[in-house]
Amino acid sequence: MADLSLADERFEKVATKQGYLSEEDLGKCKALKKKTGVYFAKPLAEIALAEDILSAQDMDAIVQIASSDKLTFGGYEVKSILGEGGLGVVYLAKQVSLQRNVALKVLHPKWMKDEEFRKRFLLEARVVGKLSHPNLIQVFDVAFDKGRYFFSMEYVAGPTVDKMTDKKGFLPLAEAIDIALQTLDALHYVWEKQMVHRDIKPSNIIVTPQGVAKLGDFGFVKCQAEEKLGSDEFVLGTPDYMSPEQAIGKEDLDYRSDIYSLGATFYHMITGSAPYNGSESMVIRQHIKASIPSPRALNPKLPNSVCTVIEKMMAKSPADRYQQYEELKRDLNLVKKGANPEASPIEVGKSTIAKLEDFRDHPLSRLYEAELQLKKIKAREVVYQIVILVFLFLFTMLFFIRR
């Protein structure tokens, strides 16, 4: 049994940093401690365990880290945090048996009680573990320890594409095309395995010092050979880069959805910005019905040819996008050489609005309708206020005139 006399400050630091305790749950523990009074107050660790906010296994792990500053899962010793995705935390760890560095993805504690997210996490490990491609991050094994699911992966030294753009502002066109082509090779391999990645974005692509692009994070992968996962009540993916059909919650996504997301990622690489800005709901709506802002508006040195390719990749309708891997690869190589792509430009206005009837009965449509109604109500309130102010002004003027 874990030692629950752990000092509150140390417990709070470790539990929150390692993702075991959310700020909301920490606040709940502190409120309960304050309620009991100074003389009868229990340590925060004991309160968290008594209230089932943390499991005994979670507490054991926290105490282990707090006492030794080391966290281990199975035969892996954690060194540092590399990043955090939708399903879990990714650590740099040492595989003790082979004395090698690996990336260790550990399912976030908040998802341990969610059956769907547990299945999705294990699906990612199981599916990606069967894949082998030079532009994909390789998965080694999957296991369970200390109440957490985890899997180990190839550790790739190098920055993610979003870190590269943060540092440089935007990437040189030739470099961006190289990364896009390598990612496209990985996706072509994935598509041949009847999978759709569904989360292509700059932070999921790592570039090695040798210039090799590695695609990772298959947490939202859709695999036809696996059992159905997911709920119609929410959309999986990252709003900044998701296709219109993914944004409206369609289930029958295919490789053309990944082409759109790769197009949005390519846009980010050469401009330093995602295609659309705003709140998540605003970005989603723009993906569905807004024209793509010209990349040349953000990077005037770009040739028109690259705009043609991006417009084709990011057409609102999947039928208007590239239909073949080789066609897209051909056009990217042509642009890299300074030539014009063979694909015809998208007709003006043809693909600016996705087919909204495809998701009229989807829960997301009700959200958009509710937001629209809220805007109308606010607009009416402004009109009413103006009318009242005008009426008061006229009444005041009339009052002084009569005097």
Are 231 and 344 members of one domain? yes
Give the pLDDT of residue 69: 60
Are 50 and 119 members of one domain? no
Are 189 and 318 members of one domain? yes
Which tens digits make up the pLDDT trace of 188-247? 999 998 888 889 999 999 999 999 999 988 777 776 545 454 444 445 668 899 999 988
Who wins on pLDDT, 351 or 100? 100
Q: Is the pLDDT of residue 284 over 80?
A: yes
Give the pLDDT of residue 230: 47
Per the structure, the count of domains in the chain is 4
Average pLDDT over residues 388-399: 77
The reply to whether 258 belongs to the active site is: no
Give the pLDDT of residue 88: 76
Average pLDDT over residues 148-168: 91
Measure CA 333 to chain center: 28
Are 276 and 257 members of one domain? yes
Average pLDDT over residues 21-27: 85
For residue 291, give its domain range. 161-359
Q: Which residue has the tokens 């959805």?
A: 257
pLDDT band per the 50, 70, 90 thresholds, residue 86: low
Q: Is the pLDDT of residue 325 over 90?
A: yes
Who wins on pLDDT, 21 or 133? 133
Are 185 and 317 members of one domain? yes
Give the pLDDT of residue 362: 47
Are 235 and 129 members of one domain? no
Q: Is the pLDDT of residue 2 over 60?
A: no
Are 225 and 83 members of one domain? no
Give the pLDDT of residue 72: 80
Who wins on pLDDT, 192 or 390? 192
Give the pLDDT of residue 276: 93
Are 217 and 101 members of one domain? no
Q: What is the 3-state secondary structure (H, E, C) of the chain?
A: CCCCCCCHHHHHHHHHHCCCCCHHHHHHHHHHHHHHCCCCCCCHHHHHHHCCCCCHHHHHHHHHHHHHCCCEECCEEEEEEEEECCCEEEEEEEECCCCEEEEEEEECHHHCCCHHHHHHHHHHHHHHCCCCCCCECCEEEEEEECCEEEEEEECCCCCEHHHHHHHHCCCCHHHHHHHHHHHHHHHHHHHHCCEECCCCCHHHEEECCCCCEEECCCCCCEECCCCCCCCCCCCCCCHHHCCHHHHCCCCCCCHHHHHHHHHHHHHHHHHCCCCCCCCHHHHHHHHHHCCCCCHHHHCCCCCHHHHHHHHHHCCCCHHHCCCCHHHHHHHHHHHHCCCCCCCCCCCCCCCCCCCHHHHCCCHHHHHHHHHHHHHHHHHHHHHHHHHHHHHHHHHHHHHHHHC
Are 201 and 93 members of one domain? no
Domain limit, last residue, from 99, 125, 155: 155
CATH code where residue 89 lies: 3.30.200.20
Among 199, 217, 258, 331, the active-site one is 199
Are 99 and 137 members of one domain? yes
Q: Is the pLDDT of residue 97 over 70?
A: yes
Q: Which of 75-84, 250-259, 350-359, 389-398 has the lowest mean pLDDT?
A: 350-359
Are 146 and 167 members of one domain? no
Who wins on pLDDT, 102 or 110? 102
Are 103 and 87 members of one domain? yes
